[in-house]
Amino acid sequence: MLRQIFIVTALNFRSLVGRFWQSMVIVVGLAATIAVMLSMLSLSTGMREAYAKAGDPDRAIVVSKGADQEGQSAITRADAPVIADAPGIAKDKDGKPLADRGLNSGVPVLRKDGSKGFTTMRGLADKGQGVRPELHIVAGRMFQPGKRELIVGLGAQAMFQHMQIGDKVILPAGQWPIVGVFATGDLLEGQLLGDTETMLAALHKTSYNSVLVRLTSPNALDTFKKALTTNPALSVTVERHSDWYKRVGDQSTFVLALLGYVVGAVMAVGALFGCLNTMYAAVSVRGREIATLRALGYGAFPVAVSVILEAILLAVTGALLGAFIAWALNDGKQSMFGAMVFHLSVSRAQFELAVTWATVVALLGGILPSIRAARRPVVEALRAT
Amino acid sequence: MRYLPLVWAAILRKPTRAVLTLLSVMVAFTLFGLTIGLNATFDLMAEKARADRIYTWPRFGGSGVPVAVARQIEAIPGVKAVTAIGFIPGYVQDPKNQAFLIMVDQNAAKVFGDWNISPQMWNAVWKDRTGIVMTRAQAERWHKKVGDTFTMISKAVKRADGRTDWTFKVLAIAEDVPQNSNGFVFGNYDYIDKARPTADQGKVSEVDLLATDPSASADVAQRIDHKFANSATPMQTITEKLARSGNDFGGLDIKAITHGIALAGMFMVLFLTANGIAQSVRERFTEFATLKTLGFSDRAVTAMVVLESALPCILGAALGVGVAAVLARQIPKLMPPNFGIPLPTISPMVILWAAVSAFLVALLSAALPILRLRQMDIATALSGRA
């Protein structure tokens, strides 16, 4: 049986060259479908990756109870030291806990194309760099605590105007100069950073948004969490930083990803009709060849399988071509959406998704023609012109 | 037209192929209609945008800026009318049913004269502090009619009594304006102001204004930004024209995306129809030779092939755009509310572009087979050796 499938399929593939343009309908159909879908998904995938990279299993974030975004959370000045004293937090060389009081605010920006948008301005306190060792200055210098200064991320610098060292950012009661450029390799690169306490005063805020801590080890989360959640003086939620960003990333990219899948699905339906068309034409062109094989004693099943395998080969070729186009056009390109700056991404998982979709389309588009090919009476097919 | 029966017979020879081609073309044009229709909506919004209207809101400030800012803006040269607005963002019953209320003062009637709100409706809201006016789109979303009660939860706007629910009475339902197809709800600023804690009273979320000279509105916007840049309440100001001109959706180039999708769809069907017509002509090569022998001119044969190619394209385009028009109306029910994407508009321009694209696909598909038919050697073709 397997040998028969192999022989019929090989014969089949050899005759593909003669049906080149007809076969290209499937290849182009899937290539167009996958190129469009993965290009759209490169947005949500890139955003999710930027979020995911910002999370670290060695860190935990503390927000007010029930808050699922930093913006909704408020940690009072009184609560912050209590949180920093909890067990499970790593200490710096002076024996101080690596716990940092964070602040978030939207800040209006002018995009490179002249349109107006906004990004996030984030406050880091004295332990900011200790908690986030991935943060390093690539130009200029770090902001000084207590001074009205900001540093800008590489991504923000690439996407927005007036983000060079020496430029000024309008804040309440005065403009703050940009004194440095930083890199983190994650979502923070699209943001501005400054000193938490100075920013807090300027924005007339009375509470922090979060406390971010470095754990002694990833396993220390439970100890830390238990200490905070059982403390009756606190009303906070503790989450592993990597879990936090995975959830926030999934939430904020859900609709974008859905749009990509919906458009991809609609195009896949169009490609499916093309696939059906091509495979029907293929079995009708190969009618006599198939009948000859059957007359020689080859079974109906190997014939049917060969038709489906041909559809899969063509569809997967098209899908890989489409995925490659989407990758070449988008992958790594600096992009933005709302307050997020990130790199578009067409990852390995996307290529696998493309192959899966192509296989499904080919199965659906190949099965009916394959049944027709296998069922056609041999004598009738041999006589047909 | 007299070739129509011949063409029809040719198409019906392979009914499966005809139907599958039609369906594929239809799907591609459904996407075409939705994407190009979305562009049409953005174009319409840009066209309807008023050159003289300006929006300004605090750069920082969750609880808003003192209403005094509105009075200072009134004093800026070139400003005609100013209205101060308080927003109530929140939800109805479940956080996923997001709702948004615009609470306005009496100058709103001047600044938003193009909102389709009758003087009676404005007056009703000024007289009844708990009253709101909804546009039809919003009334349908919340299943409200005149006289109904509308209750929403807002955690963003604090009330003096500590509650988070806000209750309103629907006084009137207004017609939607094309530039805001998702609709809006507005009420009386006095209500929100008096219900808030003393510390928050007199604060506004946004100040909207009209410039005396529409051509100078960008300057007025800049003057406002400049005036407040070093104050305790720096403002972010934008003209309605600029806000609506970029087809701006979070910084994404919507036009490039929609054009890309529509083009990919067209490319896909082009391959399909071109192959279909080429195959059909190849199968009937001898027949075409016979037709030519009978005295059919090259032009007649060309017309027949073009017609055979155009029929599924045009029919598929018509069906596809039709489906898009129906789907466009269903989108509000399918998408999360307030997602911010406006509804596609199947405008005459969209239909025209769909028709042009369908014709182009048909002509390109027919080009090669026509060339072959024109260059055919009748004797060889008749012998079946071509």
The domain containing residue B116 runs over which residues?
Answer: 53-212
Judge if B62 and B205 occupy the same domain.
yes
The pLDDT of residue B1: 62
Its pTM stands at 0.87
B226, closest residue in chain A (CA to CA)? A170
CB-CB: which of B61, B248, B267 is closest to A28? B267
Structure token digits, residue A267: 């195009």
Contact residues, chain B, for A105 at CB < 8 Å: 60
Q: What whole-number distance in Å separates Cα of residue A84 and Cα of residue A62? A: 10
- Express as a percent the part of chain B with pLDDT over 90: 60
One-character DSSP codes across A233-245: T--EEEEEHHHHH
Look at residue B238 and tell me if it is in a domain. Answer: no
pLDDT at B386 over 80: no
Eight-class DSSP state of A111: B
**Nearby residues of A10 by Cβ (< 8 Å), 6 or more positions away:** none
Indicate whether B244 belongs to any domain.
no
Q: Give residue B3's pLDDT band: very low, low, confident or very high (50, 70, 90).
A: confident
**B97's tokens:** 């049913």
When CB atoms are compared, the residue of A106, A159, A271 closest to B268 is A271
**B83 in contact with A, Cβ within 8 Å:** no
Taking residue B116's Cβ as centre, other Cβ atoms within 10 Å add up to 14
Model confidence at B41, pLDDT cuts 50, 70, 90, reads: confident
Distance CA B271, CA A344 (A): 29
Note the pLDDT tens digit of each residue in B81-103: 999 999 999 999 988 888 999 99
Residue B37's pLDDT band (boundaries 50, 70, 90)?
very high
B74 and B29 within one domain: no
What span, in angstroms and rounded, lies between the C-alpha atoms of B295 and B292?
A: 5
| Cα gap A276→B14, rounded to integer Å | 13
What's the pLDDT at A137?
97
**Of chain A residues 147-166, which have a CB less than 8 A from chain B?**
159
Q: What's the pLDDT at A17?
A: 79
C-alpha–C-alpha distance, residues A367 and A355, integer Å: 18
Q: Which of B212, B237, B272 is the last residue of a domain?
A: B212
Q: Which residues pair with B85 in a beta bridge?
A: B104, B206
Closest-CA distance, A174 to chain B, in angstroms, reads: 5
User: Domain check: are B57 and B17 in the same one?
Assistant: no
Q: Are strands A340-343 and B165-174 parallel, antiparallel or unpaired?
A: unpaired
The pLDDT value given to residue B339:
60
Nearest-5° Cα angle at A179, A176 to A183: 120
- Give a three-class secondary structure readout of chain B: CCCHHHHHHHHHCCHHHHHHHHHHHHHHHHHHHHHHHHHHHHHHHHHHCCCCEEEEEECCCCCCEECHHHHHHHCCCCEEEEEEEEEEEEECCCCCCEEEEEEECCCHHHHCCCCCCCHHHHHHHHHCCCEEEEEHHHHHHHCCCCCCEEEEECCCCCCCCCCCEEEEEEEEEECCCHHHCCCCEEEEHHHHHHHCCHHHCCEECEEEEEECCHHHHHHHHHHHHHHHCCCCCCEEEEEHHHHHHCCEECCEEHHHHHHHHHHHHHHHHHHHHHHHHHHHHHHCHHHHHHHHHCCCCHHHHHHHHHHHHHHHHHHHHHHHHHHHHHHHHHHHHHCCCCCCCCCCCCCHHHHHHHHHHHHHHHHHHHHHHHHHHHCCCHHHHHCCCC
Mean pLDDT of B179-185: 82
Q: How far is C-alpha A64 from the chain's CA centre?
A: 28
Chain A contacts of B27, Cβ < 8 Å? 266-267, 269-270, 273
Would residue B71 count as lying in a domain? Answer: yes
DSSP category for residue A185 = S
Q: Report pLDDT for A299.
A: 85
Query: What pLDDT does B156 receive?
Result: 84
Average pLDDT of chain B, as a whole number: 89
10 Å CB burial of residue A230 (0-12, 13-18, 19+) is exposed
Q: Which long-range contacts (CB under 8 A, 24 or more apart) does A136-141 make?
A: A136/A182, A136/A183, A136/A184, A137/A180, A137/A181, A137/A182, A138/A181, A138/A182, A138/A183, A139/A165, A139/A180, A139/A181, A140/A165, A140/A178, A140/A179, A140/A180, A140/A181, A141/A179, A141/A180
pLDDT band at B385 (very low <50, low <70, confident <90, very high): low
> Which one of B212, B230, B262 terminates a domain?
B212
Q: What is the pLDDT of residue B62?
A: 66
Handedness of CA A48, A50, A53, A56 (dihedral sign): negative
In Å, the largest CA–CA distance within chain A is 93
- pLDDT of B46 reads 85
A104 touches B: beta carbon within 8 Å: no
Say whether both B35 and B60 belong to one domain.
no
What distances in angstroms separate CA A143 from CA A93, A185, B88, one per listed residue?
22, 19, 37
> What's the confidence (pLDDT) of residue B335?
65
Is there a domain that residue B109 lies in? yes
Burial of A286-310, coded b for 16+ CB within 10 Å and e otherwise, reads bbebbbebbeeebebebbbbbbbbb
Contact B235, B224 (CB under 8 A): yes
Measured between CB atoms, does B197 come within 8 Å of chain A?
no
DSSP codes joined into one string, A112-172: TTS-EEEEEEEEE-TTHHHH-TT-EEEEE-PPPTTSS-EEEEHHHHHHBSS-STT-EEEET
Whether residue B258 sits in one domain with residue B143: no
**Position B329 confidence tier, pLDDT thresholds 50, 70, 90:** confident
Lowest mean pLDDT among A269-278, A314-323, B58-67, B362-371: B58-67
The pLDDT assigned to A329 comes to 95
At A276 the pLDDT is 93
Structure tokens that stand for A226 in this block = 């238990």
ipTM of this complex prediction, to 2 decimal places: 0.86
Quote the minimal CA–CA distance from B104 to chain A in Å.
24
The pair of structure tokens assigned to B235 is: 């403002």
- The letter for the amino acid at A208 is Y
Do B230 and A266 make contact, defined as CB atoms within 8 angstroms?
A: no
β pairing state of A174-183 and A168-171: antiparallel
What pLDDT sits at residue A285?
81
Contact B58, B203 (CB under 8 A): no
Here the tokens at position A159 are 């996407």
CB contact under 8 A, A277 and B27: no
B182 and B270 share one domain: no
B21 and B140 assigned to the same domain: no
- Predicted confidence at residue B208, as pLDDT, reads 95
Q: Which single residue is written with the structure tokens 């935990």?
A: A60
Q: What is the SS3 assignment for A272?
A: helix
- Among candidates B157, B155, B144, which has minimal Cα distance to B185? B144
B374 vs B146: which has the higher pLDDT: B146
Lowest mean pLDDT segment, chosen from A173-182, B63-72, B333-342: B333-342
Do residues B41 and B81 both lie within one domain?
Answer: no
Please give the span between the terminal C-alpha atoms of chain B, in angstroms, as a whole number.
29
B261 shares contact with chain A (CB less than 8 Å): yes
From chain B, the residues in CB contact with A116 under 8 A are: 236, 238, 242-243
* Claim to verify: residue B22 and residue B145 sit in the same structural domain: no
Q: Are residues B141 and B262 in the same domain?
A: no
Residue B337 has a pLDDT of 55
Whether B267 and B378 map to the same domain: the answer is: yes
Q: What's residue A31's pLDDT?
A: 96
The closest CB to that of B60, out of A105, A175, A267, belongs to A105
Q: Which residues of chain A have pLDDT under 70?
A: 384-385
Q: Give the Cα separation of B109 and B129 in Å (integer).
A: 16
- For residue B110, the one-letter residue type is K
* Mean pLDDT of the region B112-124: 91
Residue B314 lies in a domain: yes
Q: Whole-angstrom Cα distance, residue B273 to residue B309?
A: 7
pLDDT tens digit sequence for B295-328: 888 888 899 999 999 999 999 999 999 999 999 8
- Total number of domains in chain B: 2
Verify that B169 and B307 share a domain, yes or no. no
Nearest CA-CA distance, residue B148 and chain A, Å: 32
Which chain B residue lies closest to A20 (C-alpha atoms)? B275
A113 close contact with B: CB closer than 8 A: yes
pLDDT (average), residues B185-214: 92
In angstroms, the Cα distances linking A197 to A48, A104, A207 are 30, 12, 10
What are φ and ψ of residue A344, in 5° steps? -60, 150
Two tokens, residue A39: 């290009």
Which pLDDT score, from 0 to 100, does residue A377 have? 85
How many angstroms separate the CA atoms of A216 and A107, rounded?
34
Does the CB of B242 have a partner CB in chain A at under 8 Å?
Answer: yes
pLDDT score for A19: 82
- pLDDT, greater one: B61 or A206: A206
pLDDT per residue as tens digits for the range B130-165: 999 999 989 998 999 999 999 999 988 889 998 999
